[in-house]
Structure formats: C-alpha cells, structure tokens
Structure 1
Amino acid sequence: MTQPEPNQPGVIRCDQFLAHPPAAVWRALTDPELHARWWATGDVRPEVGHRFTLDMGRWGQQPCQVLEVLPERLLRYSFAEGTLDNTITWRLVPEGTGTRLFLEQAGIDLDSPLGRSALEGMSRGWPGILRHLGTVLDSPTAA
C-alpha cells in the first residue's frame, strides 16, 4: 500500500491492493450494506446526480452527491458539502487476479482549522479504512 502523499496541499492519495476482481470491489463501494461494513452507513448509489449522506459518527451526517461514474472503474462524489466541500474519487485498476484501488480526497481547505484537522486525521485514517475494506471483502458474507 502506498502511504498518503503529504507533498500536495489539500489532497490525500493512497491505494490498496485487494485480492478481488473489480466487480467485487465496485460492489463494496456502491452497495450501501457492504459500504456500511467497511466505512460509513449511507445510501450510496452509482448514479450521477444521486444525493446521499454518510454517517461519520462523531463527525455527523455528511452530505454527498455523485459526480462521475464509470462502472467498475471510477466513482467520484462530493463529500461534506457545506463544511469540508471536497471530493472523493475511487479508481479501480485490474492488477493480476485482483484490483488496485486508488483513493483521492481533494479540495481540502488548508486555510480553515476544520480542513487542516480533516487532512491530518484522514491522512492517518484512510490506510486503515482501505485495509478494513479488504478484510470485509475477504469475509464469506461479502459474496
């Protein structure tokens, strides 16, 4: 796994190899029940324009809107509209018999305390979340 890149202001990037085909990884990104098992509850759907919220626990309900969908290849949505106002992009690339999942969280405002806090926290948090996604996909109930 590549660690987040600290050298680009306001952007977090990391990736994780998952020993599952793109179709399985895509399902984990777009099926609300599976999504809730590895990250946050919310009515995520791969439909451009779809609005949903993600329950981020102590950080509250975060409004999102799907911006771009390329099935089994790319999912981009706005995240935390009205507070963080940034974008999360998931890119799936076949690799051998599995998938390399790339994450980019961009547009974090480093001039705001909330933005700086989000960058610091999520830079540390995303690698573990992506590993947890792999664990969920490895479980027999993910099929």
Structure 2
Amino acid sequence: MSNSTETTTRTLMIERVFSHPPEKLWRALTESPLMAQWLLKNDFEPVAGKKFQFRSEPMAQWDGLIDCEVMVVDPLKRLSYSWNALGLESVVLFTLTPAEGGTHLRMEHSGFRADQQQAYGGAKYGWQRFFDGLERLLDGGAA
C-alpha cells in the first residue's frame, strides 16, 4: 500500500460573480479596513513578501491568530497569500476576471491534508460566510 494519500491535498474552490467592477472588488480584497469588514481583522498590506496576521476571536486551544505572507499581487487580477493556523499550512488565491455585468471571483484555498477534514469543512463553511459578507459590503457601497 502506498502512502501517496499522505501527500495528497485538497483544494476548496468558491466562485461567484459580483455585479461590481474589478476595481471595487480589488479594494475589498486588498484594503485592510475593508477586509476587516467582510473577512477578519488584519494588518494586511498588498506587498509581495509582506508578513501579516488575521485575527479572529480566540477559542479553546487557539489564540485566534492566522499567520500569513503575501505571495502574489497582480492588481485587478490575482492575489495570493499563505494561511497558516492550527497546523494547517495552506495557500489562498483570488482570481478576478471580467464577467457579463461585473466581475467573476474565484477563491482557491489549497493545502488541506487528508487528516484535516475538519479544517476543510470549517473553511468551506467560513469562506461561504466570508463571501456573503463581501457581497453585503460591496452592495452597501462601502468598497
């Protein structure tokens, strides 16, 4: 029996078309105060190589900190950063493409190991909520 399953990872992908131009979506993805409104409190700056943290409410056995590093900043097109917390070492990639009447946003969160089913399920639930919050923020005109 091979141990290939130990190195196989899963990727969570969420796609949504927002009825807003890429510039507005990009601001919501890259400006720290706006990110805090739909994602998590942070000290993010859109600079490749910049380390930052997302801060969530602390819970049992977790201080609420997510250690990240900006990997790719391709304005209005792609944004990627590492996402490391609770033993999960993963990567988040946002891709923006023009769509009929707005912008298509694809989010890929990759790096979930087979033994991280709970983390994968939590991320799936969390990112759906985050995307709903992003939609509310954009529709509210704040971005």
TM bucket by the smaller chain? 0.7 to 0.9
Unpaired segments of 5 or more residues in structure 1? 1-7
Does 2:119 align with 1:118?
Answer: yes
Determine which structure has the larger strand proportion and give its number. 2
| Alignment check: 8 A CA contact 1:16 1:131 kept | no
Displacement of 1:82 in angstroms is 7.3
Counterparts of 2:121 and 2:86, CA distance in 1: 19
Q: SS of 1:133's equivalent?
A: helix
Counterparts of 1:68 and 1:9, CA distance in 2: 21
Counterparts of 1:13 and 1:69, CA distance in 2: 19
Per mean C-alpha deviation after superposition, the further-off stretch among 125-134 and 34-43 is 125-134
User: CA RMSD of the aligned region, Å?
Assistant: 1.7
- The one-letter code of the counterpart of 2:16 is Q
| Alignment check: 8 A CA contact 1:20 1:137 kept | yes
Counterparts of 1:81 and 1:47, CA distance in 2: 21
Unpaired segments of 5 or more residues in structure 2? 1-7
User: Where do 1:1-143 residues align within 5 Å?
Assistant: 9-58=9-58, 59=62, 60-80=64-84, 83-111=87-115, 115-140=116-141, 142-143=142-143
Give the TM-score normalised by structure 1. Answer: 0.85
Larger Rg: 1 or 2? Answer: 2
Determine which structure has the larger helix proportion and give its number. 1
Displacement of 1:81 in angstroms is 5.8
Counterparts of 1:104 and 1:122, CA distance in 2: 11
Identity %: 32
